[in-house]
Amino acid sequence: MTAYRFRIKFDPDPTSLWRDIVVGADRTITELQSSINPAVGLDQGHLWFVGEDEGYWDSAVKYQCPQEYEESLSGDPLLRTERIENAGDVTIGEMTRQLGLEQYDRICYLYDYGDEWRFYAILKEVLSDEPSDKEPAIVKEKGDPINDQHDPPETGESDPPLPEPLYSVLPETAVPVADLRGLEERDRVVHVIPLLSLETGFGAVCERFAIQFEDTGYVIENFQPGWQIVEEVDGVDKTEEELLAALADAAREWHAEIAEISGAVTGQHFDDETVEAMHVELEAELERKGYDHL
């Protein structure tokens, strides 16, 4: 009994559109792909392949859709620069073994060789208590599906506008913690929680924080220069405490994602203890506000 949990992320804007899919080890790559496209708003009318890491066209191994694989067999094998496999025959378990995938390793998925819709998938978890024949299922998601797949994807991230009063008061660089705390005096702001503060000669400054309004919460990161929303939490039908709890969970999840990204860049593995250490300011702020149970 083995299944895998992959986080499928839209390469041009990975923090705004992603889907978590759990799939059994005995299911094929084609079955996984068939669950991805409708989940992100794409059809099934074009060629595609899955590759290793984020190599895309440069992948040394390509798991091609069955249609392309059959056509590839008629070509000259001496001209190939990569190994090709039939995604309709290779199971998820076989792929993980062939690529040596471990937790937080990545694969890439390219759909439509004209418009080139690019996604990458992070192996979030190996589930030993799930059946190996489990059909692909969406278990968590963020972001709306693609509206028009015939409108080519943007090559760079489009930064969502910051909510007021942040848009007009935040500098492009790190903001003093005292100024952040002062935002709580504004009518619409319920909570401000510094998440990453640094001591400078001019006092403590913050490069990551969470802010809660009456009906929405945000986790915001300074990408030097410029602030971006990395997590948004809908507070509709939530009490103030329920929204704060959801916002705290979003901050913890962002910390885990930072560890994944850093691990992929540096080649290091950051364990749960490392991620927990990133929560220190969050937990301290919750305790200071009387919400240490969240």
> Can you give the CATH number for the domain in which 93 is found?
3.10.290.30
For residues 189 and 146, what is the distance between their CA atoms, to the nearest angstrom? 31
Which structural domain, as residue segments, surrounds residue 273?
166-288
Predicted confidence at residue 13, as pLDDT, reads 85
138, 172: one domain: no
pLDDT for res 80: 57
Residue 160 lies in a domain: no
**Closest by Cα among 101, 134, 130, 129 to 32:** 134
Determine the pLDDT at residue 153: 61
CA gap 186, 188 in Å, rounded: 6
Same domain flag for 230 and 111 = no
Residue 132, domain member (yes or no): yes
Question: What pLDDT does 262 receive?
Answer: 77
Are 14 and 128 in the same domain? yes
121 & 10 share domain:
yes
Within-domain flag for 42: yes
Same domain, 264 and 136: no
Query: Distances in Å between the alpha carbon of 129 and those of 20, 25, 126, 133?
Result: 17, 12, 9, 12
Please identify every stretch of the chain with a pLDDT value under 70, giving residue numbers as ranges: 73-81, 152-161, 168-169, 224-225, 264-265
- Distance (Å, rounded) from C-alpha 180 to C-alpha 189? 11
Number of domains in the chain: 2
Query: Does residue 93 lie within any of the structural domains?
Result: yes
In a domain, 294, yes or no: no
Enter the tokens of residue 24. Answer: 């059994």
pTM of the model: 0.61
